[in-house]
Chain A
Amino acid sequence: MKIVIMGCGRVGARLAGLLDIEGHSVNILDIDAYSFRRLPPDFGGTALVGNGTDEESLKKAGIEEADVFVALTQGDNRNVMAAQIAKHIFDVPKVVCRIYDPMRRELYNSLEIEAFSPTTIFAQMLKEKLEK
């Protein structure tokens, strides 16, 4: 699969590494080239400096041929905007984004954007651990 990831933080870099090992073609975007230090040393994909809410940068990252787009920057709104551009402008078949704010996540899920809230997931997981 052709995968575009926006945001090369800890999660983004790790996901990129995992998908790359599986043999997928991975392009990862970040506005700061310094973030790419987090990528594994044997990363075979492409790292590009660019803003994922900008159409031109997304095109350079190969969004037009992508099967999957994942938005993982620190900003909920940036992720939501990029995900909607990928889905509605470039018709990427699978779009996933991270939204920390649980209520905002709920809203965008209802707008057919597949979103995960680490806040909800992690809190739930901790609660289950503690109650064991």
Chain B
Amino acid sequence: MYIIIIGGGKVGYYLARALLDEGHEVLVVEKDPERNEFISGELGSVSLRGDGCEVATLTEVGTGRADMFIAVTGDDEDNLVACQVAKHKFNVPRTIARISNPKNEAIFKKLGIDVTISSTNIILEYIEQEVPTHPLTHLLDIRDKGLEIVEVKIPPKSTTVGKRVKELSLPPGSVLSLIIRKQQKPHVPTANTILQAEDQIIAVTSPESEEALRTTLRGS
């Protein structure tokens, strides 16, 4: 695959290195001459000095034949414009933009960017997972379907302890998929499964039902 990366900062550099290792054809477009020199020194002649939002630069690097276009500069607006130019002027099939402001995720989607990666959100999610008392953790988003996979831990003194799954009034569209217990194999809950304290429950839900699911499972 031919992959163009806009931005030769830390993210751009390590991304280029990883993609080269996988055997792809990679080109990094970076404004700063020193970063260009550094990347060329480390990875060979895979970087070009230029503005990745400029049509002229993108013509020069053969964006028309790129399979993937990834914009990872530190500025959201630059990443947006670079991807839009690639998409609308050069018809690149897949454009990926890094975003710093998580609020921009929805905006970028609406403006036609295929994939957005919010480093802030990713870091936040990992931190959530590491905080044991966190009531509900996001594990994965299934964006096309508007679903998400979350983890909820049943607190020891919760009113749900000892209840059967069928006795819970789960919000519509929410499914309990897996129960993980200490010293037991993870198993798929049935209607008659009795919840225990410290159960880790993996569930599928929608962003709208998330709050209701959390309340139902954690009890009071």
Contacts and interface: CB of A to CB of B under 8 A. Distances in A.
Contacts of B54: 101, 103-104
B55 interface: yes
Given A104-B54, A107-B55, A111-B88, A77 B75 contact: yes
A61 to B, nearest CB: 16
B78 interface: yes
Interface band, chain A: 20 to 34
Contact of A85 (B55, B75, B107): B107
B77 A77 contact: yes
A104 B53 contact: yes
By DSSP majority rule, is chain A's interface helix, strand, loop, or mixed?
Answer: helix
A75 B84 CA distance: 16
A54 B101 contact: yes
A58 B85 CA distance: 25
Contacts of B88: 107, 110-111
A76 B107 CA distance: 18
Interface string A91-115: 0000000000101100100110000
B80 interface: yes
Interface band, chain B: 20 to 34
A88 B80 contact: no
B198 interface: no
A85 B104 CA distance: 10
B110 A88 contact: yes
By DSSP majority rule, is chain B's interface helix, strand, loop, or mixed?
Answer: helix
Interface in B97-123: 101, 103-104, 107, 110-111
A80 interface: yes
B128 interface: no
B81 interface: yes
A30 B9 CA distance: 28
B76 to A, nearest CB: 7
A55 B102 CA distance: 11
A126 interface: no
B191 interface: no
A104 B107 contact: no
Contacts of B80: 77, 80-81
A93 to B, nearest CB: 18
